[in-house]
Copies of this chain bind each other. A is one copy, B any other.
Amino acid sequence: MTQPATDHTARLMDGAALARRIVDEAAATAAGITSRTGAAPCLATVLVGDDPASVTYVRMKRNRCARAGIESRHVALPAGVTTAELVDTVTGLSEDPSVHGILLQHPMGRHIDERAAFEAIAPGKDVDGVTTHAFAAMAFGLPGFVSCTPGGIMRLLDAHDVDLAGKHAVVVGRSAILGKPAGMLLLGRDATVTYCHSRTRDLAAHVREADVLVAAVGRPRFIGGDAIKPGAVVIDAGYNEGNVGDVDFDTARRRASLITPVPGGVGPMTIAVLLSQTVRAAAHQESLRR
């Protein structure tokens, strides 16, 4: 039952603007820490190998750190590093008091036990929210850092005063750092939450029920806009080749009440949350030393 297109157009959720505000706040806090302690908050970035996309992502994150007054310490490891060596490196950073946050870029290569490497990050420095500790904290509403993209999604929803209690949130995708934690955060805010994924039958029927839709599959225009419930809030966490999201934006925006553009929606929020959490980690570690 496709409804005819109307003149209605969803309001855009401007992640770029919100991300700028969050980064500005982080920069102000970082400046305070630097002036009080004589050392800037420090994010260690660990990169295994030289995958071009990963190299670009890490460089982008380091540039953003620099602009916000956050030091970044880069550790480049050869593609052939073993899991044990990688775990040793990460453990060293976890124990180094001059490092406040750790970003372990992935994928790390198929020969690496990525879970073991992530778990070597001390929970207090897990500013990317990749450890099992962070996941359980998100699921149980405990203090801790959140995974950056789900955390960014929640901040976008809050900035637009989206009331989640009792709403039906449908998360399409179930990755460990995006779909699963996003669903747990939404559940913690009293949404009814449905997880859909590649094995889901009749995805469109589930999408049709969503008051809040989170698309996190990484397949271009995988979710047709005609399936969007009129008035729904659409969060597109996909970012595919050709700057295209997981949702067919042009159709979806005629039905949704709020929608994230791609690019400029969820994307900028991810780095903003990373920087914000790095500064928070530094402030917390500073407070423990006083």
Residues of A within 8 A of B (CB): 115, 132-133, 135-137, 139-140, 142, 165-168, 174, 176, 180, 183-184, 187, 190, 192-197, 199-201, 206
The A interface, classified by DSSP as helix, strand, loop or mixed, is mixed
Cross-chain contact A195 with B192 (CB below 8 angstroms): yes
Cross-chain contact A166 with B200 (CB below 8 angstroms): yes
Cross-chain contact A192 with B201 (CB below 8 angstroms): yes
Say yes or no: A194-B192 contact (C-beta < 8 A), given A115-B140, A139-B135, A180-B139. Answer: yes
A223 to chain B, nearest CB (A): 15
Cross-chain contact B187 with A192 (CB below 8 angstroms): no
Query: Can you report 16 A-B residue pairs in the complex whose CB atoms are below 8 A from each other?
Result: A132-B132, A132-B142, A133-B136, A135-B139, A135-B140, A139-B180, A166-B200, A166-B201, A167-B201, A168-B201, A174-B187, A180-B187, A187-B195, A190-B197, A192-B206, A193-B195
This protein's copies in its complex = 2
Separation of A257 and B183 alpha carbons in the complex (Å): 30
A215 to chain B, nearest CB (A): 15
Cross-chain contact A197 with B201 (CB below 8 angstroms): no
Cross-chain contact A199 with B139 (CB below 8 angstroms): no
Separation of A199 and B169 alpha carbons in the complex (Å): 13
A216 to chain B, nearest CB (A): 14
Query: Which residues of B have CB within 8 Å of A190?
Result: 197, 199
Query: Which residues of B have CB within 8 Å of A206?
Result: 192
Separation of A199 and B187 alpha carbons in the complex (Å): 10
Cross-chain contact A136 with B140 (CB below 8 angstroms): no
A48 to chain B, nearest CB (A): 20
A87 to chain B, nearest CB (A): 16
Q: Which of A137, A139, A184 has the most CB of B within 10 A?
A: A139
Separation of A137 and B135 alpha carbons in the complex (Å): 10
Cross-chain contact B136 with A199 (CB below 8 angstroms): no
A73 to chain B, nearest CB (A): 28
Query: Which residues of B have CB within 8 Å of A115?
Result: 140, 142
Closest 4 CB pairs of A and B: A132-B136, A190-B199, A194-B194, A192-B200
Query: Which residues of B have CB within 8 Å of A195?
Result: 183, 187, 192-194
A178 to chain B, nearest CB (A): 13
Cross-chain contact B199 with A165 (CB below 8 angstroms): yes
Query: Which residues of B have CB within 8 Å of A135?
Result: 132, 135-136, 139-140
Query: Which residues of B have CB within 8 Å of A166?
Result: 199-201
Separation of A168 and B202 alpha carbons in the complex (Å): 10
**Minimum CB distance partner of A193 in chain B:** B195
A166 to chain B, nearest CB (A): 5
Given contacts A132-B133, A180-B184, A190-B197, 14 further A-B contacts (CB under 8 A): A132-B132, A135-B140, A136-B136, A139-B176, A140-B176, A140-B180, A165-B199, A168-B201, A192-B196, A192-B197, A192-B206, A193-B194, A193-B195, A194-B194
